[in-house]
Structure 1
Amino acid sequence: MGVQEQLQALHDDGFVLIRDVLDALQIALIRCAIDDLQPLHWDYQGLLEHYKCVFNRSPLWLSFLDLPALIGLAEAALGDDCHIIGQTAWRSHPGYPGLPLHLDHLPMQLPPWLYAQHDFSLPMQIITAQLYLCDIDLAIGPTWVVPGSHRAGRAPEPGEDSWQGQGAQALLCRAGTVLVFRSDLWHRGAANSSAGQVRDMLQVHYGRRMVAQKFSPYLSWQFNPQVLAAATARQRRLLGEHAESEYD
């Protein structure tokens, strides 16, 4: 599937699965790096481990900001001056209860009649790439999505699990697959009911140039000099080094 087909899937369905993005060595590298992470600021550990802004911890994470199979889609969807607004590592352990259906961000609230137009959807402002580091089956806790729900123009109500007759679907896939979805798509991470497997995932959040970068801890935020020294020109742009614009 080429970039234009992937872009069309984001417009039509709100998500696209891209297979074989990571190889076995890359997967092992990221999983070992997650082993070494320690919580900072709003990070936490427990049945769900959650680590924000991992791009700033070591140059190791830089190459996963602009993977060749992903960066072309991100730039096609959000503009060639897009940047990241986060890179987050997740690990869910057996017993993790999962999350309810939700959306991450609704860019703009518009009249319901406009959303009801079959060919209308808001231009994308934020997309998320979920890089799966293990095989995803029903037991370990897949991501569930409601295809087309980005056209609803609202978040799901409590207990709501379908939109216009389309129910939630579990995305089962092999390690190395990446799910890319819009911020206004209804989705959820399921419970880990496996006998003893952890579910590892790396997320990269991309935003348009005018979507603010919110890196915590905010007032004391500083870029890691080792990361900046190792970054390519494109990676530095993704980190926020933009050309001058009207608002700079």
Structure 2
Amino acid sequence: MSTAAHLRDLNEQGFTLLPGVLDAPAIATLRRLMDQLQPIHWDYIGLVDDHFKCVFNRSKEWLAFLDLPGVIELAEAALGEDCHVIGQTAWRCHPGFVGAELHLDHLVMELPESLLADPAFQLPMQVLTAHLYLDDIDADLCPTLVIPGSHRAGRKPQLGETNWRGKMADAVLCQAGDVLMFRSELWHAGSRNRTTDRSRYLLQVHYGRRMVAQKFSPYLGFRLNPDVLAACTPRQRRLLGDHEAAEYD
């Protein structure tokens, strides 16, 4: 599919799947990098999952995964050529993991569903998340659940709500190396790791319009790694915040 076709899916369905973005060597590299991570600040290694934020700042090896071919073109088409990365999170979900309930990630403002139902109205995107899957995802290995079109609900799911307009959440089953991209208003959920011997390896990259703040913990104590900066391409520097001057700079 073309970037234009994926962009149409984001506008109509709220998500799109990009197949085969990562090849086998890239998958192996990411799994090795994730296995070497140690917790900093809000990171943790838990009983059933391990979670590491801002991994782009650990070493230059992570940089290539900020602007993968096909992914970055879609992010820029959706959010503007001056978009940036607001976070990059590595996750391992082990047997027994229980995913989050139905939710959305960010809603700029509540809007009447009657407006959003009008096909002539296109809701601008503010934040996109890319899920880079490093395993074949089947029904037992923590598939991401999505409700197509639910970004047009104009609100977040209520407690205990399990569907939107009668649509239940669908599991995104895919192959290692595939990338799921979805907009922040989409109703989605995690799911359980029902296996006994497999962990799901996932890298999340969050993209935002320039006016969306970057979420680089520990915030006041955060400093960009000079070795990482030295290895950046011009596009990667922009993604990390090296923008041209604008109104609020």
Distance 1:112 1:134 in 2: 37
Following superposition, the deviation at residue 117 of structure 1 comes to: 2.6
| Counterpart contact for 2:98–2:190, Cα < 8 Å | no
- Worse-superposed segment, 173-182 or 117-126: 117-126
The alpha-carbon deviation at position 141 of structure 1 amounts to 1.3
State the Cα distance separating 1:121 from its structure 2 match. 4.2
**Matched residue, 2:232:** 231
Q: Using a 3 Å threshold, how does the CA distance of structure 1 residues 137 and 92 change in structure 2: closer, same or farther?
A: same
| Per-residue Cα deviation, 1:122-165 (whole angstroms, up to 9, x for no partner) | 20000000000000001111000000000001111122221112
Task: Name the CA distance, whole Å, in 1 between partners of 2:72 and 2:103.
Answer: 26
**Once structures 1 and 2 are overlaid, which stretch shifts more, 65-74 or 104-113?**
104-113
- Work out the CA distance in 1 between the residues paired with 2:29 and 2:129: 21
2:170 matches 1:181: no
Is the 8 Å Cα contact of residues 121 and 150 (structure 1) preserved in structure 2? no
AA partner of residue 121 (structure 2) = F
Give the alignment's TM-score, normalised by structure 2: 0.97
Contact 2:27 2:134 in 1 (8 A): yes
Q: Which residue in 2 is equivalent to 1:165?
A: 166
Amino acid at match of 1:202: L
Higher mean C-alpha deviation, range 39-48 or range 3-12? 39-48
Runs of 5+ unmatched residues, structure 2: none
CA contact (8 A) 1:6 1:73 kept: yes
Distance 2:203 2:135 in 1: 11
| Structure 1, 5-14 or 104-113: larger mean CA deviation | 104-113
Q: Percent identity?
A: 61
Q: For residues 83-109 of structure 1, what are the alpha-carbon distances to aligned partners after superposition, in whole Å with 9 as ceiling and x for unaligned?
A: 000000010000011110110000222
2:107 and 2:96 map into 1 onto residues whose CA distance is 30
CA–CA distance in structure 2, aligned partners of residues 120 and 42 of structure 1: 39
CA contact (8 A) 1:130 1:204 kept: yes
Match of 2:77 in 1: 76
CA distance in 1, matches of 2:108, 2:7: 18
1: CA distance, partners of 2:94 / 2:69: 30
User: What CA distance in whole angstroms lies between the structure 2 residues aligned with 1:91 and 1:196?
Assistant: 13
Q: Which amino acid aligns with 2:24?
A: A
Partners of 1:160 and 1:119 lie apart in 2 by 28
1:63-101 deviation digits (Å, cap 9, x = unpaired): 000001211100000000000000000100000111101
2-structure distance, mates of 1:121, 1:39? 41
- Given that residues 99 and 191 in structure 1 are in contact (C-alpha distance below 8 angstroms), is that contact kept between their aligned partners in structure 2? no
CA distance in 1, matches of 2:247, 2:120: 32
Contact 2:113–2:152 (CA<8 Å) still a contact in 1?
no
Instruction: Identify the residue that residue 37 of structure 1 maps to in structure 2.
Output: 37
The answer to whether the 8 Å contact 2:130/2:206 transfers is: yes
Distance 1:158 1:121, change over 3 A: farther
- What does residue 55 of structure 1 align with? 56
Paired with 1:221 and 1:121, the residues of 2 have a C-alpha distance of: 36
Aligned partners of 2:73 and 2:100: how far apart in 1?
Answer: 30
1:220 partner letter: G
How far 1:112 moved relative to its partner? 3.9
SS at 2:70's partner residue?
helix
The aligned length equals 248
Unaligned runs of at least 5 residues, structure 1: none
Residues 161-205 of structure 1: per-residue CA shift (max 9 Å, x gap) = 211122110010110000000001011110101021000000100
**Rounded Cα–Cα distance in structure 2 between residues aligned with 1:245 and 1:149:** 34
Report what 1:141 is aligned to.
142
Question: How many angstroms apart in 2 are the aligned matches of 1:119 and 1:41?
Answer: 45
Q: Is the 8 A contact 1:121 1:151 kept in 2?
A: no
Tell me if structure 2 keeps the 8 A contact 1:94–1:192: yes
Q: Secondary structure at the match of 1:68?
A: coil
